[in-house]
Amino acid sequence: INLHFTGDMHAITAANNLLCALIDNHMQQGNAINIDQRRILFRRCMDMNDRALRDVIVGLGGKVNGIPREDGFTITVASEVMAILCLCTDIADLKKRLGGILVAFNRDGGPVFAKDLNAEGAMAALLKDAVNPNLVQTLEGTPALIHGGPFANIAHGCNSVRATKLGLKLADYCITEAGFGSDLGAEKFMDIKCPAAGIFPSAVVLVATVRALKYGGGMDKKQLKTEDVNRLKSGLVNLGAHIENMQKFGVPVVVAINRFDTDTKDELGAIEEYCENLGAYYAQSRVFEKGGDGGTELAEMVVNACERPNSFKPLYDPSLPITEKIGILAEEIYGAARVEYSSAAKKSMAEIENLGAAGLPVCVAKTQYSLSDNPALLGRPTGFTLNVRDMKLSAGAGFIVVYTGDIMTMPGLPKKPAADGIDVGDDGKITGLF
């Protein structure tokens, strides 16, 4: 596997930016469908963190270069094309969903979709190979299907429906990842992917570490390798929230305690006791240290959980009003006391309702560092206000994106980027990736 994998990300980026080029070209060539350049919703993308591209002006340089307008970039994983690739079932469904992308409004206030630009065929051609799952293997030869990568904090956080369904056909047990925690990828897996794909999980596995729980309990990062059962116990409320969130979907929960060599017996015992009190299964995982042999206990516990009663049900009915769906997530999953909507969010919500799309599920874009929309609130915050700053209809993907707090769909690089430590030697070997 190289850094470009099989080129899926590039194909998604190309398809996304083809649509953008078609929008600008249509306006340049006479604008037959009367697109309002002030109300273009669909943005360009690239697979790189670059804050300088969040808001840009395109079409500068005179008439030959197009119509000047405000634009911007999202990161490829937040593109609606990525979500569509991961939720489509076949080529026909892919084309239908691509054609359903809401790209702009016209000067009369009516919607403009990708199909109005006849874009879906060419976009699908760019995605013809990318739509197929990629078969790779672990170091021990276990097959793995790697396909799609929508981030769970700014998108729906699940791999493709096609890969999951293929995995289900190939083995007795299929394990799929939902990004970050119960408040992000897991909730979206339950409320968006499962209903769309017609599937449901037999069990949920939550991954926890001693170090993360101590950090959530207020311990300094530099001290995390030092035993501190009290700090650990203070941080366990966060794990408790994730366990209870998953139990609300009616599915057995297994906590995988991902062991490090600095974990102590008392710290591990505190986690196990806590899980037992909440009615969650648990097992230690040492796969990083021992490979497959280190995961036997966990695998046996997951198999056992899969045989337990299962009454899976999404958390909300998508036909509920938008504010009610958001309110359920805010209260039941995040722990918020109230939700506040900006004027921009209220305006966008009214437009979505006028388009008849209020019955779609909601995909909340939210920080991954907290159950709230404030990354500084660790543990299990309560009584806070969830701030909704805007919404966007992803009609092709089939959900409504709800932007909360300061979450960005084009991240920036940190003070010390990972690129600082990456290099390639004379032998062609890349170092510094991990």
Express each pLDDT in 348-393 by its tens digit.
Answer: 999 999 999 999 999 999 999 999 999 999 999 999 999 999 999 9
322-403 topology per CATH: Formyltetrahydrofolate synthetase; domain 3 (3.10.410)
**pLDDT band with cut points at 50, 70 and 90 for residue 6:** confident
- What mean pLDDT is reported for the chain? 96
**pLDDT band with cut points at 50, 70 and 90 for residue 84:** very high
pLDDT surpasses 70 at 160? yes
- pTM attached to this predicted model: 0.94
pLDDT tens figures, 170-186: 999 999 999 899 999 99
Listed as own residue / partner, the contacts of 421-424 with beta carbons closer than 8 Å and 24 or more positions apart are none
Q: Residue 169: how many CB atoms within 10 A of its CB?
A: 7
The DSSP result for 102-124, as a single string, is EEEEETTS-EEEGGGGT-HHHHH
**pLDDT band with cut points at 50, 70 and 90 for residue 1:** low
**For the chain, domain boundaries:** 8-127, 135-307, 322-403
pLDDT tens figures, 132-144: 999 999 999 999 9
The CATH number of the domain covering residues in 8-127: 3.30.1510.10
Q: H/E element holding 388?
A: strand 385-394
The DSSP result for 10-34, as a single string, is HHHHHHHHHHHHHHHHHHHTT-TT-
pLDDT tens figures, 91-129: 999 999 999 999 999 999 999 999 999 999 999 999 999
Mean of the pLDDT values across residues 401-420? 95
Architecture of domain 135-307: 3-Layer(aba) Sandwich (3.40)
DSSP, collapsed to helix, strand or coil, labels residue 57 as strand
Q: H/E element holding 212?
A: helix 210-216
Cβ-in-10-Å burial (0-12, 13-18, 19+) of 231 comes to buried
Task: Name the nearest CA neighbour of 384 among 331, 344, 346, 343.
Answer: 331
pLDDT surpasses 80 at 2? no
**CA–CA separation, 61 and 67 (whole Å):** 10
Q: What per-residue confidence (pLDDT) applies to 5?
A: 77
pLDDT surpasses 80 at 423? yes
pLDDT surpasses 90 at 3? no
